[in-house]
Structure 1
Amino acid sequence: MGVPTTESLSQVYGRDAERARARLAELAARYEERFGAGDPEFFTASGRTEIIGNHTDHNGGKILAASITMDSVAAAARTDDGVVTIWSEGYPEAIVVDTARLGDIAHGPGSTTLVAGMLEAAARRGFAVGGLNAVVSSEVIPSAGVSSSASFEMLVCEIVNHLYNDDAIDRADYARMGQYAENVWWGKASGLMDQMACAVGGTILLDFSDGVSYERVDFGFDELGCDLVIVNTGKGHADLSAEYSSVPNEMHAVAAALGVGNLCETSEDAVLAHLPELRETCGDRAVLRALHYFEECGRVEEAERAIRAGEKARVLDLITASGRSSWEWLQNAVVPGMPEEQPIPLALALTELYLRRIGAGACRLHGGGFAGVIMCVLPKAETAGYVDYISGYFGRENVYLTNIRQVGAACLGRA
């Protein structure tokens, strides 16, 4: 069973194409082990980085986000029985979903639920679904703020799109299918940012004020001579749903007190004009989180202006300001009631000490917060030194060198 050539993979993976080819060869072997000889095609969907725009999507805000070089990959082929069977590396059981019996699958957490929900969403949106066999492997860090679940979702969408819909499904529909699976089937509140950033590729400017719209923008850390380093602080997101829900809930409470549904329908000036009553009815933290929302959306807009003006290094200053606001105003760096456990602030403090010594770079809390990862943008000449430095505190296995990649979800073809 063959795999795509290094030359063809270089369009997605660049100088890592040979390593990617080795990954796909291992995937092909597992496909043959699970399903026998065949001629599957290969697929990819990236993880994502949120550059600026922490916790703004759920209130109609703006985000600058990008696909990253960490990705999920699959080998997949159509079947005639209408049954979707997916073996995912590291899991003892296959995901099995009969497309003719979606109603028999119980709603709730789990990968089977996600797949069933996406298939239902695709059918509801008028797209074709059908049986397939697939094996999946992922390098996207789970439960750590770089969207391992969204990467998997977008991978499945890409497979269904290519095998059954002649590549006609728009990336925004991918995102809505993933969101539907999470909201309706899993019962997990989520926006569209993770899915969009994993699906589209490159750097995108997202605006959620009227549904979701996006445009690609010309920005990457490579062109600034920088690398992106992700540091996993060691605690996952799995048991923090209440903390994450508190952020949109408190922002929505402020919006409701001002007579609107989302903060995008009001303004920072309105919050300031009604500050005493908002503090009384919603509490100080909710007010601070609302103010973070407006300031954060402003930073996204400023970053867009800087990029278009060719002042791309300005984005690094805005990343630092965004991270500081998340830590101090949004307050999603520490789990409330657990002052003894502060891996995110500790990682940020250690990183700030390093950046101060070299006089360059930027860092911020990454993703949902409370636990998981931080990001650090470093001049390439300083990357190895920082990796050695931060590995001394969090372990080399928890430090990931990555960068923005220009391809999100895609079919890689076959041999």
Structure 2
Amino acid sequence: MKLTKEEYKKMKDRAILNFGKADYRLFFSPSRINIIGEHIDYNGGNVLPCAIEIGTYALVKPAVRDVIRLRSYNAQYYKEVLIGSEFNPNNKWINYTLGMINAISESGYEVGGLEGIIYGNIPTGAGLSSSASLEILIGKIINDLYNNSEISMKDLAVLGMKTENDFIGLNSGIMDQFAIAMGSSGSAILLKTGTLDYEYVDADLGDSVLVILNTNKGRRLVDSKYNERRAECESALVKLKPKFEIENLCDLTEENLEDALSVLDLENERRRVRHAVTENARVQKAIEAIKNSNMEALGNLLNESHYSLKYDYEVTGDHLDAITAAARKAGAFGARMTGAGFGGCGIALVKKDELDEFKKTAGRLYKEETGLEVDFYETVIGSGPCELEVERWEY
């Protein structure tokens, strides 16, 4: 789902119409999926995400003043804001752009105005990190236009998380921004979120493929129980720290999990901790399964992850439960929700030669259960953000 010549020409025509003829520059930032390791990036856990080849494009030029003038090609929305302005809910998606530029400025780097067109092919509300994709896209643009690419991609990921936490008001972890900023073609990233140490893992699944399952049930994280889950984890951590030498919940192991749970007096906190510890252990098991080409074992781990997210972390919901159940009945090795939950997408591990029949059966079962259509996307693991040569479309 890369940018086509037709899409580029439409972006350029819109840019010229709104901002005049200029030497526009074209940038891209991918989306991401998380293979396994959900809701533990803010608990110091290990996660296994990868960048994918759908994402967000920008055709932009510097503005003469410190002003942001960006139009979305996907939605008829335009807002002009000054750099340094405060969060305003009426600014909609421009808040992610403004927050990222403000964060870069507050870190001591140069910033400047932007004019241009934003276009994304990430399904809206699907949980594939469209907001993080936009943040890292803007970070890449500001880095290249105003800082001679001085800011490291790792630092841009940190600034993206700061934007979510401090400007948007969502207490997310760093996984989404890190996976997008540091993406490498064909590889997942084993990210140790407690230290930001990372390594690339060959994501060759042989005769199988990960399929994205879009429930078409959107969600808004700020309005969900995402922040509540993080608060529950932080409360449990405060109670556990005096008893165990830990900085994060995922410093606990499966060996001392039961001892840790006995310290907690609230059932919801025990469930959150159980998920964090067992999910962290599943990440390493999944890496071993991939290395050993054991798709059955990997599928079982995906199933275990989903059940933990459903019963212990309580973030799945009827539509994610329905699509993952349909995927299993349709012959997938395993399936689970991916992303923050409360709607959005799942993933399923499927044999390539059974893919067409899988889609047909899973789609039918899901529609019978929910009345909604499911959209399927085959994953292509891509690289991180980049500037694209416009000449390839200029003919």
TM-score, with length taken from structure 1: 0.83
1:78 to 1:240, Cα distance in 2 relative to 1, 3 A: closer
Question: Is 1:51 the equivalent of 2:27?
Answer: no
**Counterpart residue identity of residue 161, structure 2:** Q
Q: Which residue of 1 aligns with 2:193?
A: 208
What is the aligned counterpart of 1:291 among 274, 281, 294?
274
8 A Cα contact 2:171 2:230, kept in partner? no
Question: Is 1:272 the equivalent of 2:255?
Answer: no
Question: Is 1:233 the equivalent of 2:233?
Answer: no
Instruction: Give how far 1:75 is off.
Output: 0.7
What is the aligned counterpart of 2:71 among 74, 82, 87?
87
Aligned partner of residue 312 in structure 2, secondary structure: helix
Q: Which residue of 2 aligns with 1:4?
A: none
**Counterpart residue identity of residue 146, structure 1:** L
Instruction: Give how far 1:193 is off.
Output: 0.8
Question: Is 1:366 the equivalent of 2:338?
Answer: yes
Gaps in structure 1 of 5+ consecutive residues: 1-15, 335-341
**Counterpart residue identity of residue 360, structure 2:** D
Number of aligned residue pairs: give it.
378
**Counterpart residue identity of residue 56, structure 2:** S
Question: Is 1:333 the equivalent of 2:316?
Answer: yes
Instruction: Give how far 1:376 is off.
Output: 1.5
What is the aligned counterpart of 2:284 among 297, 301, 308?
301
Aligned partner of residue 368 in structure 1, secondary structure: coil
Gaps in structure 2 of 5+ consecutive residues: none
Q: Which residue of 1 aligns with 2:149?
A: 167
Measured in 2, the distance between the counterparts of 1:367 and 1:41 equals 31
Aligned partner of residue 126 in structure 2, secondary structure: coil
Aligned partner of residue 344 in structure 1, secondary structure: helix
Measured in 1, the distance between the counterparts of 2:87 and 2:327 equals 44
Measured in 2, the distance between the counterparts of 1:139 and 1:215 equals 28
**Counterpart residue identity of residue 200, structure 1:** M
1:124 to 1:377, Cα distance in 2 relative to 1, 3 A: same
Deviations, residues 328-368 of structure 1 (Å, cap 9, x unaligned): 3323223xxxxxxx11211122111111xxxx532111211
Between 1:286-295 and 1:387-396, the stretch displaced more is: 387-396
**Counterpart residue identity of residue 157, structure 1:** G
Measured in 2, the distance between the counterparts of 1:245 and 1:239 equals 8
Aligned partner of residue 4 in structure 2, secondary structure: helix
Measured in 1, the distance between the counterparts of 2:271 and 2:221 equals 24
**Counterpart residue identity of residue 302, structure 1:** K
Instruction: Give how far 1:182 is off.
Output: 1.6
Deviations, residues 231-268 of structure 1 (Å, cap 9, x unaligned): 22232212773422232222222222112653134444
Measured in 2, the distance between the counterparts of 1:140 and 1:321 equals 27
Aligned partner of residue 200 in structure 2, secondary structure: strand
What is the aligned counterpart of 2:356 among 381, 384, 388?
384
TM-score, with length taken from structure 2: 0.87
Aligned partner of residue 21 in structure 2, secondary structure: coil
Q: Which residue of 2 aligns with 1:345?
A: 321
**Counterpart residue identity of residue 74, structure 1:** A
Instruction: Give how far 1:44 is off.
Output: 1.0
1:396 to 1:411, Cα distance in 2 relative to 1, 3 A: farther
Deviations, residues 175-211 of structure 1 (Å, cap 9, x unaligned): 222222221112221111111112222311111113x
